[in-house]
Amino acid sequence: MAKDTINVGLVGFGTVGSGLASIMLDPSSELDKKLGFSMKLAKIVDKDITTDRGVKIPDGILTNDLSEVLDDPAIDIVVELVGGTGFAGDLIMRAINAGKHVVSANKALLAHKGGEIFAAASARGVEVGFEASVAGGIPIIKVMKEGLVANRILSVYGIINGTANYILSRMTTECAPFGDVLADAQKLGYAEADPTFDIEGIDAAHKLTILGSLAFGIPLAFDKVYTEGITKITPVDIAFASEFGYRIKLLGIAKSDGSEVELRVHPTMIPEGQMLAKVDGVFNALYVDGDAVGATMYYGRGAGSRPTGSAVLADIVDIARNIRGGAVGRVPAFGRPIDEPLPVKDMQRVKSSYYFRFSVQDRPGVLSKIAGILGNNSISIESVIQKGRKEGGSVPLVILTHEAVEENVTRALAEINALESVDPGAVMIRVEGAEG
């Protein structure tokens, strides 16, 4: 018999938890009407049950006793919004073992321990929803699992870290150096006190890990994602990119040619006319290219209290509908079995176009030497900008290449960095010209 009311227990009453509560407790919500049955935020568990989060919570809901969620058989769905990979992981495993469905926004946890979690959930016959783990409020996971189910996914790529995008956007509009913008972003609350996960691309790699499994059915492979952050991006390179008609964005890129998968996060130059190039500030956007549908794009807020709460609640509703309809497990967690044996391509074998900036002695013959080394390594030049005239000093030499293989680029750069007339430390940024 169908349950009258689906009860939700929330663990973690921080930013996203408050957003979720504000939506679920909104008296003008249309949710019961949409559902045709009742769904209740029955418990909220947090260590801190005194701080005002700006959400009016009915009496008896807020508690610091986790057992009120985990041990109460009336709780159907446990929402984990604690974050981190320690306590959150234990909590989720305990909830699964107690036969409860789970919703989580925890990309780090899923990227690292998803295999174990989804196996346990499958064995116990419960669902784990994770829409909020990638791209905040954009319902990209439902789109990939269900909306584009007819497609073999060829690639999915885009801007999946709002903090990095905010910093790059401000560096671009203000011609400001990375450190200054980061410090200001921290002051404004757009970057955390320890910004490592965001600026080193690790958070994006967590999300790309999940996208890779959704797209290609490969097991979660965080340790195979090539990850490079934005800390070395300078206003000089942003300005040169602009001269070539490009913007620099931190992209997560997952591609498959049917026999191998590419999974990589790195700063990327993209044509300024492309829609991704217009995605500024804390917004996220993802292109998904399917064999039937072609190129599609999804854009919205990648973080924030209520946008992420919107995604969490979509998962809760999906699971609640399955509980009510007796259809738990209706769609597999990743829309398909996660058993494809496609290997992840080594970064050195990836093909890309490239932007190089060398600091060279301003004397005849340097360009010729560099061009020679590039040519010997099968790298052909698309265009060159040589700036300035400083008697005896160093001037920038900027080169855009046609498509080349990364290992050839690595070798060529080592040779060029060793030239006497070139300062060591050449800048290299990958270029993607994908349509849009």
Q: Which residues are catalytic?
A: 207
**Residues 2-31 vs a copy of itself: string with x where CB under 8 A?**
-----------------x---x----xxxx
Distance in angstroms (rounded) separating the CA atoms of residues 295 and 434: 10
Q: Is 307 in the site for a copy of itself (CB under 8 A)?
A: yes
SS3 405: strand
Q: Is 281 in the site for a copy of itself (CB under 8 A)?
A: no
> C-beta of 271: minimal distance to a copy of itself in Å?
12
Written as six digits, the tokens of 416 are: 């060029």
* Nearby residues of 203 by Cβ (< 8 Å), 6 or more positions away: 107, 108, 161, 163, 197
The 8-class DSSP code of residue 342 comes to P
Closest CB to a copy of itself among residues 131, 262: 131
Closest CA to 136 of 329, 335, 282, 293: 282
Q: Find the binder of a copy of itself among 147, 201, 212, 252 (CB under 8 A).
A: 147
Distance in angstroms (rounded) separating the CA atoms of residues 164 and 170: 10
Q: Is 217 in the site for a copy of itself (CB under 8 A)?
A: yes
Distance in angstroms (rounded) separating the CA atoms of residues 121 and 126: 5
Q: Find the binder of a copy of itself among 84, 125, 281, 325 (CB under 8 A).
A: 325
Closest CB to a copy of itself among residues 29, 380: 29
Q: Is 56 in the site for a copy of itself (CB under 8 A)?
A: no
Q: Is 434 in the site for a copy of itself (CB under 8 A)?
A: no
Written as six digits, the tokens of 420 are: 């006497």
> C-beta of 96: minimal distance to a copy of itself in Å?
21
Paired with 104 in beta bridges are: 80
Q: Is 37 in the site for a copy of itself (CB under 8 A)?
A: no
> C-beta of 81: minimal distance to a copy of itself in Å?
14
Query: Which strands form 5-11's sheet, in the order they lie side by side?
Result: 62-63, 38-45, 5-11, 77-80, 101-104, 128-129
Q: Is 129 in the site for a copy of itself (CB under 8 A)?
A: no
**Residues 161-200 vs a copy of itself: string with x where CB under 8 A?**
----------------------------------------
> Using CB under 8 A, which residues numbered 358 to 417 contact a copy of itself?
none
Q: Is 246 in the site for a copy of itself (CB under 8 A)?
A: no
CB atoms within 10 A of CB 73: 9
| DSSP H helices in 220-298 | 235-243
Q: Is 297 in the site for a copy of itself (CB under 8 A)?
A: yes
Distance in angstroms (rounded) separating the CA atoms of residues 164 and 187: 15
| 3-state helix vs strand vs coil in the chain, percent to 5 | 40, 25, 35
Q: Is 47 in the site for a copy of itself (CB under 8 A)?
A: no
Total residues binding a copy of itself (CB under 8 A) = 60
Which positions lie near a copy of itself, rule CB under 8 A?
A: 19, 23, 28-31, 33-34, 36, 131, 137-139, 142-143, 146-152, 217, 273, 275, 278, 285, 290, 292-301, 304, 306-307, 309-311, 313-314, 317-318, 321-322, 325-327, 329-332, 335-337
